[in-house]
Amino acid sequence: MTLRVLTVDDSRTILAMLHHTLSNAGFEVLQAEDGRQGLDMLKNETVDVVITDINMPVMDGIEFIRNVRATGQHNSLPILILTTETSQDKRDQGKAAGGTGWIVKPFDPEKLISVIHRVVH
Amino acid sequence: MEALSLRDDLGDRAAAAGQNSLQLIAFSIGEQTYGVEITTVREIRAWNGATPLPNTREYVRGVINLRGTIVPIFDLRARFGDGQTSPTKNHVVVVMSVGDKWVGILVDAVSDILTVNRDDIHNVPEGNSIDTELLNGIVTHESRMVGLIDLQAVVSGAKADA
Amino acid sequence: MSDLDDFKATYFDECSELLTALEEEFAAIEAGERDSDRLNAVFRAIHSIKGGAGAFGFGALVGFAHAYETLLDYVRDGRVELTDEVVSLCIRANDIVADHVNAAQTGEALDADYGAEEKARFDALARGESGEDDEGGEPLEDFDIDFTPVMVNLGHAEGEAAVEDVFDVPPMAPAEGSWEIRFTPHRALYARANDPLLLFRELAALGTMRVKARMGQVPPLSDFEPFAVYCSWEISLSEPSLTEAQIREVFEFVDGDCDIAITQAGAVPAADLAAMEDDLLLDTGESDLASLLALTEDEMALPEPEAAIASLLDFAPEPKPVAASKQDRFEEAPALSFADLAATIAPASVAAPKPVAVAPKAMAPANSDGEESHRSNGVQSIRVDLDKVDRVVNMVGELVITQSMLTQQMDETLRARYTELVRGLEVLAQTTRGLQDSVMAIRAQPVKSVFSRMPRLVRELATKTSKRIKLETIGENTEIDKTVIEQLSDPLTHMIRNSADHGIESPDKRLAAGKSETGTIRLSAEQAGGNILIIVEDDGAGINRERVLKLARDKGIVAPDFTPSDEQIDQLIFAPGFSTAEAVSDISGRGVGMDVVLSNIKKIGGSVHVRSWTGKGCRMTLRLPLTLAVLDVMLVKVGESPYVVPLSSIVETMQCSRASFERVPSGGRVLQVRGEYVQVIDLGKRFGLAKPASSADQFVVLCESEGSQKVALVVDDIIGQQQVVIKSLEENFERVEGIAGGTILGDGNVALIVDVQGLRTTHLHQNAA
């Protein structure tokens, strides 16, 4: 069965790289450019894991995660935070909002896949 | 408006010709026979008028619509300094590619496809300046003299002097 | 093209958009809008540029962007005040980022210390504001990025432990042998969609594992809270050279969401254990350590999930609910089924490297409406190759022609006979028009993308010329066809250079003239009918007509005995080979000057007009077609040949017999229109085409290309209005004087497009010569 990944990032470059890496690894990839789009997508789509950036316009990653969890529909949906922050700050905020884990940019493709497998069945 | 496709039987003929030979499309202007290498020819069509272009030399007959592209037509007779052709439906436009451009040459008739040996091509004799300017060489085919057209030379300098 | 190149292309595209956005944000910030939204947008843009740069290993860019980003972060949270000085530093920084991006794109190397000065200022600012704060005082230059360049192939899988990462836990002393792990998840662990099963699976990959579940706290079914946490586990894991760090890494994401104790087997410090139990018991109020320990002795080793629940419930001997009060703040509890939890225990011993892959998938999808939903993935925009759009545009163009040809073929007899056909053609016409508009809308883009490059240009020009110049932009959201926009950049650059170089005066001169020290260049775009007007205006000295005329005479552009009008002189700055730069500056005096503007703009079917007010300023107006593809025209006949005149330049048409021509001493004709004398150009004569014998009367097409000067074209017949698709003559031929291009009429013949402005210009030159 193909796993579906929702990627949320305002950077097209990152989206394109995620798409490439993930689809090469056999995932089906959905894309959203900010948290609001991501939320809208989750209303209609079933995904197995979400990868989201933190710094985004319209709705940032923290708020996005908080909103996803607040729907009550996605309590066991793993959400990975994409972050370039080397400080613990953003990661903690993301986690407090309900993030499952994190991936540090620039990401290594293998690391990315292994982190996904760490949080998805 | 009729267009004769040359592409189909091109392969066979090219195969029949040896590697040292050259295939020409031969066409006539009055008594003269000229030829161009067959690979440069894109299409042959009957004369159907052209829209004149102002401020150009007399041998630029104007432009035609070739499937949505505008292609200039050069009057080869006029180019050789023998006055403008008075074209009829029986006159022929040979559309050729010169570099990345397509141009049409107005001639009286297309006579044949000739296979000539490259070794038989001679230099244009000195004397006639227009011939030396516009021809790459001369070849004799079945006792006919065929002038090999230098297309680049034919189409250059088309703008009228200001 | 490799994938990496593709990504890079995407990245550079994105960078140019982000840099454009930065210009806009700072234009607003400079204008006083210093709200947090703007700062956040700026921060995000730099952050994104840095992020991508990191992926491609553009070290210099990352380094600079990071330092800049840090400053922006400080500004954002108020640690550094956004003074005018900081704003101008940021604007400078944007330019440096742009240069770095450009260098990365072209592969050329910038000086190693490029931007170092600015970086040092970021540092000083950051330090200055937070002197005592250790974090703030951290020298930014020390920032060192550890790149993990993007790898696009996913060939062999390296061991995870081999992949170093910044968040790796610090390496601990490697210990050989077996480990005991006590793991008690908190409710938060589930709330964040972490799952013990997955942790066990990962642990199982590390070595030989044995799991014991401690379920003593599972209440009877009546008291069972579905989302409460009742289980904890003891795991023993053994593998030679297995380190604690490796185990800790597995629990990385759940750190803080669970109690975890890792000890080397056979060396469990009792104190630790006791502390952990104490911790657990705090919530329950239960302090009977002995009884709890007794409970934990129950070893669970159940053969299959189905049996698990049953046996599990049987096994719950005492009602000891765990009131997870500490975790109550989590409003949402995990949708975790007990069966899954039980299942995790099932393979009590799993040998590496085979992970627990047999677990039922029941809990994974939060939405239960089927996982095979391959419906629309909700994408709201797509990126399409411009070539593909162009192909559609061309085909639509042909369709327009065919449609108008069909319509022309319908004469009155046919119309009367085939009403259905007529109706069909009308629908076709409508649909074609709609299709055309839609296709054009796809290619329309705001002029912003060109306008946004100008602030930097003006800044640089101001610095080079030691002038003070302010740029104002208006109407940057006006949309034009993408191909027009692409052709706009060079002309606009030249026009703005001209304004900065020749228009705006030095500060002293301005003060002496009673103007403000800072000159203004105003760049505006607006739609006017089927055209877009791009106007470059300045409040400088205006065109020095004496000098222009003298230069034009010197260069033989204007004959000595010809006295052009002021307007004609102004227009001379666009004449080929004309440049007013007396001292060749590196700004606009490069031989190619304003004539480039004219030729570029003409190429896209536009026109240029200049108007100058001595001492007050100058205005250059570009009139551009909304789209390149389709032009509304008047079809006329000159001799027997069809010509079209762009409708946008036509003021009116009239019959020659009704027009009042007058002779001028030079022998030419002028037309008097409402008291105004207008130059007359007989196209038949100009184009050397014989007047058809049948033409009883000629017509005058009064044109106004740009500005006030009109021109009257005499033609032999007026056929009517129609739309045409512009075709290039230059594609297969060359540029022809007085002709702007060609088009194909409904009958398949070629009509030439009259270059109204070009005719006037040559007319002027001929008069002058």
Q: Please state which of the four CATH numbers 3.40.190.10, 1.10.287.70, 2.30.30.40, 3.40.50.2020 is assigned to the domain occupying C630-768.
A: 2.30.30.40
- Mean pLDDT for C368-383 is 49
Tell me: pLDDT of C307 over 50: no
- Residue C114 CA: distances (Å) to CA of C141, C193, C593: 13, 46, 31
In single-letter form, the type of residue at position C117 comes to E
Q: Do C359 and A55 touch (CB under 8 A)?
A: no
pLDDT in tens, C223-279: 777 777 778 888 888 887 777 887 888 887 887 788 888 887 765 444 444 444 444
Q: Regarding predicted confidence, which is higher, A88 or C81?
A: C81
- Mean pLDDT for A1-24 is 85
Q: Which residues of C touch A113 (CB under 8 A)?
A: 154
Tell me: pLDDT of C337 over 70: no
In order of their start, the domains of chain B are 3-155 (2.40.50.180)
Residue of chain A with shortest Cα separation from C199: A118
C603, two tokens: 């190429």
Which residues of A, range 32-91, sit inside 8 Å of C by Cβ?
32, 37, 40-41, 44-46, 48, 55-57, 69-70, 72-79, 84, 86, 91
Q: Please state which of the four CATH numbers 1.10.3720.10, 3.40.50.1110, 1.20.120.160, 3.40.30.10 is assigned to the domain occupying C3-142.
A: 1.20.120.160
- Mean pLDDT for C75-102 is 85
| Confidence label for C350 from pLDDT (cuts 50, 70 and 90) | very low
Q: Do B55 and C727 touch (CB under 8 A)?
A: no
Tell me: pLDDT of C718 over 70: yes
Residue of chain B with shortest Cα separation from C642: B51
Q: Do C165 and A25 touch (CB under 8 A)?
A: no
Q: Regarding predicted confidence, which is higher, B57 or C300?
A: B57
d(CA C295, CA C589): 92
Q: Which pLDDT value is given to residue B133?
A: 83
A114 vs C: CB within 8 A: yes
Q: Regarding predicted confidence, which is higher, C127 or C91?
A: C91
Domain residue limits at A74: 4-119
The neighbours of chain A, by the rule of 3 or more Cβ pairs under 8 Å, are C
Burial C281-310 (b: 16+ CB within 10 A, else e): eeebeeeeeeebeebbeeebebeebeebbe
Least confident of C64-68, C327-331, C388-392, C578-582: C327-331
Tell me: pLDDT of C175 over 90: no
- Mean pLDDT for C78-105 is 86
Least confident of B109-123, C256-270, C334-348, C735-749: C334-348
B→C interface, C-beta within 8 Å: 49-56, 62-65, 68-72, 101-103, 158-159, 162
| Confidence label for C457 from pLDDT (cuts 50, 70 and 90) | confident
d(CA A45, CA A48): 10
Least confident of C494-503, C614-623, C664-673: C664-673
Determine the distance from the C-alpha atom of residue B115 to the mean position of all C-alpha atoms in its chain, rounded to a whole number. 16
Number of structural domains found in chain A? 1
- What is the percentage of chain A residues whose pLDDT exceeds 90? 3
ipTM of the complex: 0.84
Residue with tokens 């026009």: C495
Q: Do A98 and C192 touch (CB under 8 A)?
A: yes
Tell me: pLDDT of C172 over 80: no
Burial B100-132 (b: 16+ CB within 10 A, else e): ebbbbbbbbebbebbebeeeeeeebeeeeeeee
Tell me: pLDDT of C313 over 80: no
User: Residue A24 belongs to a domain with what CATH number?
Assistant: 3.40.50.2300
Q: Average pLDDT of chain C?
A: 73
Tell me: pLDDT of C557 over 80: no
Q: Which pLDDT value is given to residue A121?
A: 74
- Residue B75 CA: distances (Å) to CA of B60, B154, B155, C395, C436: 6, 10, 10, 32, 38
Query: Is C593:C494 a contact under the CB 8 Å cutoff?
Result: yes
Ramachandran quadrant class, C217 (left: phi over 0; alpha: psi -120 to 50; beta: rest): alpha
Q: Do B70 and C732 touch (CB under 8 A)?
A: yes
Q: Residue C154: which of A25, A31, A44 has the nearest Cβ?
A: A25
Asked if B touches A (at least 3 Cβ pairs < 8 angstroms), the answer reads no
Q: Which pLDDT value is given to residue B52?
A: 92
pTM: 0.46
Residue of chain A with shortest Cα separation from C56: A106
pLDDT along chain B (162 residues), means of 10: 46 54 90 91 92 90 88 93 90 92 93 87 79 86 88 74 40
User: Reduced to 3 states, what is the DSSP secondary structure of residue C681?
Assistant: strand
Tell me: pLDDT of C752 over 90: yes
Q: Which pLDDT value is given to residue C104?
A: 86
C157 vs A: CB within 8 A: yes
Query: Is C378:A41 a contact under the CB 8 Å cutoff?
Result: yes
Q: Where are the domains of chain C?
A: 3-142, 170-350, 386-445, 447-625, 630-768
Burial degree of C573 (CB within 10 A; 0-12, 13-18, 19+)? buried
Q: Do C148 and A107 touch (CB under 8 A)?
A: yes
pLDDT in tens, C605-663: 778 888 888 889 999 988 887 666 667 789 999 988 999 998 878 888 888 777 778 88
C334 vs A: CB within 8 A: yes
Q: Which pLDDT value is given to residue B63?
A: 95
Query: Is C731:B70 a contact under the CB 8 Å cutoff?
Result: yes
Tell me: pLDDT of C35 over 50: yes
Tell me: pLDDT of C288 over 90: no
- Phi first, then psi, for residue C97 (nearest 5°) are -60, -45
Residue of chain A with shortest Cα separation from C165: A104
C531, two tokens: 């055209």
| Confidence label for C30 from pLDDT (cuts 50, 70 and 90) | confident
Q: Please state which of the four CATH numbers 3.40.50.10860, 3.40.50.720, 3.40.50.2300, 3.30.565.10 is assigned to the domain occupying C447-625.
A: 3.30.565.10
C193 vs A: CB within 8 A: yes
Q: Which pLDDT value is given to residue C628?
A: 61
Q: Do B49 and C750 touch (CB under 8 A)?
A: no
d(CA B7, CA B44): 11
pLDDT in tens, C126-137: 777 444 444 444
Cβ contacts below 8 Å, chain B against chain C, sum to 76
Q: Which pLDDT value is given to residue C351?
A: 40
The CB density around residue B20, as the number of other CB atoms within 10 Å, is 9
d(CA C190, CA C333): 7
C402 vs B: CB within 8 A: no
| Confidence label for C212 from pLDDT (cuts 50, 70 and 90) | confident
Of these ranges, B23-32, C409-418, C719-728, the one predicted with the greatest mean pLDDT is B23-32
Q: Which pLDDT value is given to residue B41?
A: 92
C197 vs A: CB within 8 A: yes
Cβ contacts below 8 Å, chain A against chain C, sum to 181
Q: Which residues of C touch B54 (CB under 8 A)?
A: 686-689, 736-739, 752
Q: Which residues of B touch C727 (CB under 8 A)?
A: 68-70
